Amino acid sequence: MIVKRKNMFFLSGKGFSYVIRISGEGYILHDYFGAQISPEPYCEEGRGWYCFQAAGEDGVCVDELRTEYPCYGHTDLGTPALMADRQPVLKYRSYEIISGKPAPKGLPSAVADGAETLVITAEDELLGVEVRLYYSVYTGEGALCRRTEITNLADAPLTLGAAYSASLAFSGSDYEEMHFAGSWGRERRPAFNTLTQGVYHIGNARGGSGHQINPFVIIKERGADEEHGDCYGFMLVYSGDHATEIEVDQRGRTRVHQGINPFGFRKTLVKGETFTSPECVLAYGCGLGSLSRAYHDFIRDKICRGEWSRRERPILINNWEATYMDFDEEKLMSIASLAAELGIELFVLDDGWFGKRDNDRRSLGDWVVNKSKIPSGIGGLAEKVNALGLKFGLWFEPEMVSPDSDLYRAHPDWAVRAQRSPALIRSQLVLDLTRPEVRKYVINAVCSMLDSANIEYVKWDMNRYITDMPREGFNYEYTLGLYEVMEAVTSSHPNVLFEGCSGGGGRFDAGILCYMPQIWTSDDTDPLERLYIQYGTSFGYPPLAMGSHVTESPNQHTGRRNSMDTRGAVSMSCNFGYELDITKLGMEDREEIKRQTALCRELRGLVAFGDFYRLLDPFSGNTGGWMSVEKDKSRAFVFVMRALFRPNSAPLRLRLKGLDPEARYRAGEAEYRGDMLMNRGIDIVFPFGDGASVRIMLKRI
Ligand code: DGJ
């Protein structure tokens, strides 16, 4: 709901309000963001006492205000949301309330369905700069979308160096910042800063959103935990260079900007031209748990789109860790036939099926099947797999080219390069998606393969960052090119389930989720590592967005041994699959896979569309765990895991969350009341050994 009362705008969604005030001088001020409040009666704004006050031509010191979109200079010396070669002083001009939500041109964004949008236009008449601030809310959602448009109204060009999507000014400074850091194989580990006076820059400039820093940041009241305290999320709907900049100022207030990373960014606007920022999804939660659930609902309802966004995902088997590139049709079919017997529903052919791709030094870009490996071709193989009752899926890495490929030999200039010969990573180069002819080639290569066979799933990989920047602003232009390609491919194949991937979880962001409703979470499939990775990822993203596979033991990345049971339980907490040579397994493991696939079919709707609660933080102890609760509280699935076995230790008393306190629940033979499970808790005795896990299925009686 959006209402205007005098000089105030009140925006609200599920459980939150956001209030903007226009000052007498025309500044657009942030007044409030937090738990839902009523618009009337509302209080006046307090002004502090300040020494050595600067005064602009209107007598105001903007540095003392909390503006919605700060610019640098004149009387504001804080970190700016907008930095340009003409620094405007923005004053309110007009507003508009629109039913729906205008889409940012060329960029992914939350859907318009059910939205209401406030557009505030501000201007610096003297310098000819216009800024439009977009705010969209949805009645049933606990999140708000913000973005910004900047237009040059003057004859002289306007060059932007920083143009963040959104800015928020908190009145206090008693906050902690939480972001999600890591590396390949260790993605999205919670990292913290206790904020004190100074500037914090949390971001990546790698051409992709990155394994290292995810474009999702939480600002939380100091001491806030899963259940308590004000928590604010900032999630960027963007897959390129991103930054969140936080400043705690001299007066004890906290400014946060999120958007495209200004490092390496530059955009020059000619007269009448507009820059459109990516969208930023802000959310409020009392406690981290409720903040996460607001994002989970929002991503499922408004970010992911298409047929698959509301569908349970098929149990897949992927041949990557089973065969790597060393396979032939017979080997693939032996895996697929057994998979069908064990209850698996989708067979995915990973890297190595095209050109002369027997190793990672060649053939990216040559999207033509290698008939010496697959004589039936992709169409023939898909038919054979379909005849077993399985769907067929295929891997691509469309953004790349190997120097040893026909594509590169024909078009060496299509690879991204700066002044010197470009750096190789994994022996490959990035295709320059800023060029229309390159985009056309990539769209055509992927689409014609999809149109030639019954391919019902695509894994879209991207295994290197951009290291050679031909010009300032290149990574931004690349990201726009990528989105054009993804839009063309996914919108023309609405029935295909797309899974994003980037050397594991290197491009796990809400931008990709607008095109592909699930993303490969990490190449690290060790269940203990996955406990950390999936726990960290869950702060912003729902289980339905994450892929998780059972792989072999000892794990190929860590050497750790884990039971089939634990590997299954961790993976079943997300979109479930297998990635090992099942033909080498004994009867016992095969029987276990049959049990797991049957259980997954029973559970996956709950895991996908239920409410997610974190129960135990693996980063601060020896155990970790979570649970999913059906929206109507009729069922729940609890998963807990102990990292290291400690002899002579007491059972774990585990308090559950989110159940109906009045209801009775059955778990196996036992019956419990919801209030008992949530207040007293249940005693967990872990099986013997490291990495042991326990799962509990609860059903309301
Ligand atoms: C990286 C991905 O994360 C893996 O799952 C696999 O698809 C390889 N690339 C293939 O090259």
Residue 212 · residue 181 · CB < 8 Å = yes
Residue 172 sits in the same domain as residue 32: yes
Residue nearest to atom 9 of ligand 1 (CA): 503
Q: If residue 650 lies in a helix (H) or strand (E), which one and from where to where?
A: none
- Indicate if ligand 1 lies below 6 Å from the C-beta of 275: no
Count of Cβ atoms closer than 10 Å to residue 557 Cβ: 17
Q: 318, 349, 350, 402: which to mutate for ligand 1, most atoms within 8 A of CB? A: 350
The residues assigned a catalytic role are 461, 523
Question: Is residue 395 a contact partner of residue 350, using CB atoms and an 8 Å limit?
Answer: yes
Mapped onto helix, strand or coil, the DSSP state of residue 601 is helix
Range of the domain at 340: 316-607
In a domain, 208, yes or no: yes
Q: Tell me if 53 is assigned to some domain.
A: no
Do 295 and 324 reside in the same domain of the chain? no
Which of these, 490, 470, 496, lies nearest to 417 by C-alpha position?
A: 470
Identity (one letter) of the amino acid at 653?
Answer: R
DSSP 610-643: SEEEEEE-GGGSSEEEEEEE-TTSSEEEEEEEES
Q: 606 C-alpha to center of ligand 1: Å?
A: 28
> What size, in residues, is the chain?
701
Per-residue confidence (pLDDT) for residue 63, from 0 to 100:
87
Instruction: Tally Cβ neighbours within 10 Å of residue 34.
Output: 18
Q: Is residue 249 part of a domain?
A: yes
Q: Do residue 465 and residue 585 come from a single domain? A: yes
Residue finishing a domain among 548, 578, 607 = 607
| Residue 187 CB–ligand 1 contact under 6 Å | no
Pairing of strands 198-204, 242-248: antiparallel
- Same-domain check for residues 240 and 117: yes
Residue 283 lies in a domain: yes
Q: Are residues 517 and 647 in the same domain?
A: no
DSSP code, position 538: T
Number of helices (H), then strands (E), in the chain: 12, 39
Residues 575 and 624 in one domain: no
The CATH number covering residue 681 comes to 2.60.40.1180
Does residue 461 line the site of ligand 1, with CB under 6 A? yes
- Tell whether 502 is covered by a domain: yes
Asked if residue 367 belongs to a domain, the reply is yes
> Residue 258 in contact with residue 242, Cβ under 8 Å?
yes
509 CB under 6 A from ligand 1? no
DSSP class of residue 589 equals: H
Say how far residue 92 (Cα) sits from the centre of its chain.
33
Task: Point out the ligand 1 atom lying closest to the alpha carbon of residue 504.
Answer: 3
Measured between its terminal Cα atoms, the distance across the chain in Å is 38
Strand partners, 3: 10
Closest CA to 544 of 602, 599, 496, 608: 608
Same domain for 345 and 263: no
- Whether 52 maps to a domain, the answer reads no
Answer yes or no: do 465 and 416 share one domain.
Answer: yes
How far apart are the C-alpha atoms of 548 and 573, rounded to whole Å?
A: 8
Query: Which of 277, 303, 329 is where one domain is finished?
Result: 303
Last residue of a domain, one of 303, 327, 353: 303
Residue 579 alpha carbon, nearest atom of ligand 1:
5
pLDDT in tens, 433-443: 999 999 999 99
pLDDT-flagged residues of the chain (< 70):
52
Same domain, 21 and 138: yes
Which of 320, 349, 556 to mutate to test ligand 1, by most ligand atoms within 8 A of the CB atom?
320
320 lines ligand 1 (CB under 6 A): yes
213 and 331 share one domain: no
Nearest CA to ligand 1 atom 1: 503
Could you give the number of structural domains in the chain?
3
pLDDT at 52: 67
List the beta bridge partners of residue 613: 627
Q: Which of 395, 396, 516, 557 to mutate to test the pocket of ligand 1 (most atoms within 8 A of CB)?
A: 395
Regarding whether 336 and 415 lie in a shared domain, the answer is: yes
Q: Is residue 54 part of a domain?
A: no
Please tell me the distance from the alpha carbon of residue 410 to that of residue 432, in angstroms, as a whole number: 14
Residues 156, 218, single domain; the answer is: yes
Ligand 1 in reach of 523 Cβ (< 6 A): yes
d(CA 494, CA 701): 40
Q: Is 505 in the pocket of ligand 1 (CB under 6 A)?
A: no
CATH code where residue 571 lies: 3.20.20.70
Q: Which residue has the tokens 């049933």?
A: 140
Judge if the beta carbon of residue 463 lies within 6 A of ligand 1.
Answer: yes
Dist CA 160 CA 275 (whole Å):
9
Residue 113's domain is classified under what CATH number? Answer: 2.70.98.60
Cα separation, 30 vs 166, in Å, equals 12
